[in-house]
Each structure stands twice: as structure tokens, then as C-alpha cells.
């Protein structure tokens, strides 16, 4: 398995558990958006398999935007106390690592196109 896929999979498993603890007022709004964005990011990463480099680069750029949006929404979840501080740190740490992996993949893809 490609490490970014495994890291994203592990991130989603953690997020899913934390979302179950969201207050009802945030579960079906902010929580649902976090869930959807993560799945969309995973779909974009999966869609890169077998694509030509120019298509792959565009998909990776879109996934990168999803990661940035996830970071922002996670911070919002922490600030609105829908997510506990230690849970936020746990998820944010994973997202930072995913972002670095994705950035490296984007850089490599751009160099060879």
C-alpha cells in the first residue's frame, strides 16, 4: 500500500470515532462536512491510480485543497468545543503528515510532467 493511502485511511478511522462524540448541534453540520471532505479526499487520491501525469497532478491539487479545508474545519471544531483539544491535536498531526506526503507527491509529479 502507498503510505499516503494508509495514513488517510487511519486518519478517517480516528475522525469517525471522534465524530461520534460531537454534540448534536455540530454532528450533522460541521461533523458531516468533515466526514464528507475526508471521503472526497480519499476518492481523489484513489482516482490517481492509472491516470496520466497531467490528470494525476490536477487530482492531487484538488486533494490538497481538501486537506487545507479539513485543517480549517478541524480548528473550527476545536474552537467551538465540538472537538476536544487532545483529539484536535491527534487529528491535526495526522493531517499535517498527509499534507507533507501530498506536497511531495505533487512536487514529484510536477517535475516529471
pLDDT of residue 80: 97
pLDDT score recorded for residue 84: 97
pLDDT, residue 1, reads 63
Indicate whether this model's pTM tops 0.85: yes
DSSP letter string, the chain: --HHHHHHHHHHHHHHHHHTTS-HHHIIIIIHHHHHHHHHHHHHHHHTTT--HHHHHHHHHHHHHHHHHHHHHHHHHHHTTSS-HHHHHHHHHHHHHHHHHHHHHHHHHHHH-
Per-residue pLDDT at 112: 87
What's residue 2's pLDDT? 86
**Spatial contact of 59 and 77, defined as CB atoms under 8 Å apart:** no
Q: pLDDT by residue for the chain (113 residues), tens digit each?
A: 689 999 999 999 999 999 999 999 999 999 999 999 999 999 999 999 999 988 999 999 999 999 999 999 999 999 999 999 999 999 999 999 999 999 999 999 999 87
Amino acid at each position: 500500500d502507498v503510505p499516503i493511502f494508509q495514513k488517510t485511511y487511519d486518519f478517517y478511522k480516528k475522525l469517525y470515532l471522534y465524530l461520534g462524540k460531537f454534540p448534536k448541534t455540530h454532528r450533522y453540520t460541521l461533523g458531516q462536512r468533515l466526514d464528507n471532505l475526508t471521503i472526497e479526499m480519499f476518492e481523489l487520491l484513489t482516482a490517481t491510480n492509472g491516470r496520466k501525469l497531467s490528470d494525476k497532478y490536477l487530482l492531487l491539487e484538488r486533494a490538497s485543497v481538501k486537506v487545507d479545508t479539513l485543517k480549517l474545519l478541524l480548528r473550527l471544531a476545536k474552537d467551538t468545543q465540538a472537538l476536544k483539544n487532545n483529539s484536535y491535536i491527534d487529528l491535526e498531526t495526522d493531517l499535517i503528515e498527509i499534507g507533507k506526503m501530498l506536497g511531495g507527491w505533487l512536487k514529484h509529479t510536477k517535475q516529471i510532467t
